[in-house]
Amino acid sequence: MSLLIPDEQLIDAKKRIVEREAEKTAATPAPKFEYRERTPAQVFRRMRQSYRNNQSFAPPKPEPEPTFDEPESNVEDPYIESDENDSDTRKAKVSSTTLCLCCGHARNEHHIAPQSHVAAGDHPYYCITPHCGALAIKDGKHAPCECACFRVEEKDVPKLTKPRVGPYDLCGNCGHWKISHCVKSKPGKVSRLKPGELAYRILRKPDGTAYGCKHFCPSDPNCQCNSTSCAHALDDVNFCPCEKFVSPFAKTKAPAKPRGSRKKKTRFRTGGELFPSPAETNNGDAPFLKP
C-alpha cells in the first residue's frame, strides 16, 4: 500500500481550500429593505409625540413680543444693565485675555508684576503699578500706551504691584541667595522622581567642589528636602543656621500687645454670708451681706 498522494489530488485540494477561504472573506451583501407596518400602539404613540415626552423633538420657544401701546413694558432689554441688586451680582472672572477698561488692551499686556524698564540703555528702575506695556499708534507713530493701571470696572481702585522673588534675591533672614536654599517637597517625592531629578539639593563651592544640602544622607536612599533651610556653607564645614527662607519684600508685622488678665466679675461680695440669719437683716425684712 502506497502512502504517497498523487500530484493531481494535491492540486485539487489546494483549489478547494482557496475557494473556501474566498467564500469566507467575501463581503456579505447588505440586507434588502423590508417595509413593516406599525402596530396600533406605535401609531398612537407617534400621534401623541411632543417635546414634553421626546427630548429630541424640542420646538423653539416663542419669544414675547413687546407692546408699544403701554408706556411701561414688562419686557427687559438685555443690553441695559439694571441698578437693582448691584451688590449681590457676582464679579466677572478676570483672565489673561480680559480687556482693560482704560486702554482696551488685554491683561497679559500689562505689567502685573514689577518689570525692569530701560532708560538710556540701562535698567534703572522697576515699575510699581500695573500699567500697560503695549505700543499704541499716536500721530501715525508707535508710542507707549498711556494707560497707568489695569482696570475692569470704573470702581476699581489702583493697587501697587507685588514683586516676585527671584533666584538671586537675598533672604531676609540670613542674607544668602534664594537659589542657595532648599525647596520643600511633599512627602513621598522620592517615589515620583523623573529621570535625572533629585529630591535633595546639590550645590557647588567657588572652587567647583560639589556638596549636598542639609537633607542629604548617604545612608538613606529616601532622603528629600522637607524645608526651605539655607544650604550655604559658611566655613566649608558647617551650614548656615537659617531654617526658613524669608522674602525680602515681606512686611514685618508689629508684635502684638500683651493682653491683661481679665478678672471675672462675681455677683456677691467676698467675705459675706450668702444666707444671713433674720437677726442680721435690715429691719428684719431685706437681708444684707455681713462683711
| Rounded distance between C-alpha atoms, residue 67 and residue 84, angstroms | 23
Residue 216 has pLDDT above 80, yes or no: yes
Instruction: Tell me the pTM.
Output: 0.42
**C-alpha cell, 66:** 413687546
Tens-place pLDDT, residues 140-168: 788 888 888 888 888 888 888 877 788 88
Q: Give residues with Cβ within 8 angstroms of 255, minimum separation 6.
A: none
pLDDT tens-place string over residues 224-241: 888 999 988 877 778 888
Give 31-59 pLDDT, tens digit per residue.
778 888 888 888 888 877 776 666 555 56
Mean pLDDT across 274-288: 52
Q: Could you report the per-residue pLDDT of 101-144, keeping only the tens digit for each?
A: 888 889 888 888 888 787 777 767 788 888 898 887 778 788 88
Name residue, grid cell 556653607.
Answer: 233
In the 8-state DSSP scheme, what is residue 28?
A: P
**All structural domains of the chain with their residue ranges:** 97-163, 165-250
pLDDT of residue 126: 81
Q: Kindly tell me if the per-residue pLDDT of 268 is higher than 70.
A: no
Contact 162, 204 (CB under 8 A): no
Average of pLDDT values for 165-185? 88
